[in-house]
Structure 1
Amino acid sequence: MKTMATASLASVAELERAFTAFAESARQSLARIDYVHDVSFTSLAKVDHFVFKQNAYLTLDLGIDSAEAQAAREGEHDCRFGSWLASPATASFAGLEAFRRIGEPHAMVHRKVAEAVSLMAQNWEASPKVQDSIFAAFQQAEKASDQVVDLLDRMVREKHGALAGA
């Protein structure tokens, strides 16, 4: 009887170790899945941001009455990226420093793109001064855009720490 009890205890202990290992493996898998989800999610946000900027550049070629110009005039809360920032989908990032800081450079991108598109209505093709102003506005928009992209990457690193290579 004692031998059976000892064997039974050993079997239960082995089963407990197996379940513990399985639970840890499942936890690690879920953490990796969450990380990949956030990397994918922020990558899609970057694509939306880049498409907005692309529309602004296309306005140089297609004109201020084009659909691209209209898209480039969208406000910071009306573009796809701005909508994403305000959506419940970003709740898991809301407490992060990078998320709290992303609004200002995003707004700056919109201000500078709007400035550039507005300047395009001033016969920019014939005016080196207006061309320089458009170029300067795009440079400032790109600088702010770099901050947006960096902050998106930081959001993932802040949230996932060592898993994200932080």
Structure 2
Amino acid sequence: MFLSKSKYLALEEKYNQLKAENQGLSEALEQLQLENSDLKEQVEDDNADIHKFEHGLLACSIDCILQVEGVRENVLESFNHFENESQSIQQINQLFDVSSAALSTIVDGMQSLTGNMEDMNENISGLNDMASNINTFVATISQISDQTNLLALNAAIEAARAGDAGRGFSVVADEVRSLANSTNSSASEVAELVNKIIKTTNESVDSVSVIRGSNEELAQGITKLNADYSSIIACCNTMKHTIEAASATSFIQAIKLDHIVWKGEVYAVAFGILDKSVDSFADHTMCRFGKWYHDTGKQKYSNLSAFKKLNEPHKAVHRNGIEALNFYKANEKEQAMRHFKAMEQASNEVMSYLDEIAATIN
């Protein structure tokens, strides 16, 4: 069957048209493939830039965490300073206690001395009364002596009148008068001596009264000084407790920073920022936190509920951190991430319990 020439020309024209369209489509496809290749390269470059940026940002974040170590050392230094101040105040308290005990002993001695002085005052007053009685007796003796002297004089007069018959009586009268004069003289001397004793006794009573008054004033002053010491001791105790609380709080903050630094080193090793073997990471008993927990912390806070709960999550932090690194080194990323998350969960519990302990201390 033969085509007419007109149909043949029409088909040829259609063919040329389709061929031209196909050529255009091929060129367009080639252009699209070229553009697609450029876009693919751009996306790959963008992804590389994003990955590089994220990795750099993560590295900076880990560096930031590791810088906490410097802050930790400063906090630990503050803790040591507080601890030294607390010990100094403890020594001051002991010194005040010794001084206060010495003052109390002095006050007791002075009070005893005051009592003895009161007894002495009473004894001296009694001696004064006895001297007054002696003086009265001496006055009576002097009076009797005067009367005896007068009687002896009268007897001598009567003996003189009697002449030779009264001569012997006259001698007796002279002896009696001489004895009366001697007695009167002795009585006067005794009276003078007793008056001196009374004067000296009165002066002693006055001196004892003055000494007792001074002793009482001194005792009152020492009692007030002792009360002031007690106030100072109370203030020192308050300061000591405040410093102890600040010291304990500072150490707990240092422990928390230790904890953060330890985790930061785990992440730094995982991302290749820190060259440290997994075996070199301390377990939960050998880090500063663990040593504190099983020693000083146990002695001071073992009665606290939060302290009792603290050991298990702390152990979990170390265990999961080390396991995460082992899985990461084995290229088991999913298992590593599971342990990283478990480490962070346990870490949150540790921080919560430490905050609870710090709140109880304060």
SS of 2:349's equivalent in the other structure is helix
Separation in 2 of the partners of 1:50 and 1:14? 54
* TM-superposed deviation, 1:68: 5.3
Q: Does 1:81 align with 2:289?
A: yes
Residue of structure 1 in register with 2:342 after alignment: 140
Count how many residue pairs are aligned between Structure 1 and Structure 2.
152
Change (3 A) 1:26 1:110: same
Residue of structure 2 in register with 1:94 after alignment: 302
Misfit runs of 4+, over 3 Å: 1-10, 68-72
8 Å Cα contact 1:113/1:138 also seen in 2: yes
Residue of structure 1 in register with 2:262 after alignment: 52
8 Å Cα contact 2:284/2:318 also seen in 1: yes
Q: Does 1:114 align with 2:322?
A: yes
In structure 2, runs of 5+ residues without a counterpart are 1-209
Residue of structure 2 in register with 1:43 after alignment: 253
8 Å Cα contact 1:102/1:151 also seen in 2: yes
Q: Could you give the per-residue CA deviations for residues 104-130 of structure 1, whole angstroms, max 9, x where no partner exists?
A: 101111222122112102325xxxxx2
Cα RMSD (Å) of the superposition? 2.7
* TM-superposed deviation, 1:157: 2.8
Task: Give the percent of matched residue pairs that are identical in Structure 1 and Structure 2.
Answer: 22
Residue of structure 1 in register with 2:272 after alignment: 62
8 Å Cα contact 1:75/1:110 also seen in 2: yes
SS of 1:75's equivalent in the other structure is coil
8 Å Cα contact 1:119/1:133 also seen in 2: yes
SS of 1:120's equivalent in the other structure is helix
Separation in 2 of the partners of 1:150 and 1:136? 22
**More helix per residue: 1 or 2?**
2
Separation in 1 of the partners of 2:357 and 2:307? 6
Calculate the TM-score normalised by the size of structure 2.
0.37
Change (3 A) 1:156 1:63: closer
Question: What residue identity is the alignment partner of 1:155?
Answer: I
8 Å Cα contact 1:109/1:145 also seen in 2: yes
8 Å Cα contact 1:52/1:79 also seen in 2: no
Q: Could you give the per-residue CA deviations for residues 57-77 of structure 1, whole angstroms, max 9, x where no partner exists?
A: 01211289x4153344x3222
In structure 1, runs of 5+ residues without a counterpart are 125-129
* TM-superposed deviation, 1:4: 5.0
8 Å Cα contact 1:63/1:69 also seen in 2: no
* TM-superposed deviation, 1:8: 4.4
Change (3 A) 1:25 1:136: same
SS of 1:62's equivalent in the other structure is coil
Larger Rg: 2
Change (3 A) 1:8 1:153: same
Calculate the TM-score normalised by the size of structure 1.
0.75
Residue of structure 2 in register with 1:157 after alignment: 359
Separation in 2 of the partners of 1:60 and 1:135? 11
Separation in 2 of the partners of 1:150 and 1:80? 18
Separation in 1 of the partners of 2:226 and 2:296? 39
Separation in 2 of the partners of 1:71 and 1:44? 21
Question: What residue identity is the alignment partner of 1:84?
Answer: W
8 Å Cα contact 2:317/2:344 also seen in 1: yes
8 Å Cα contact 1:55/1:71 also seen in 2: no
SS of 2:246's equivalent in the other structure is helix
* TM-superposed deviation, 1:90: 4.3
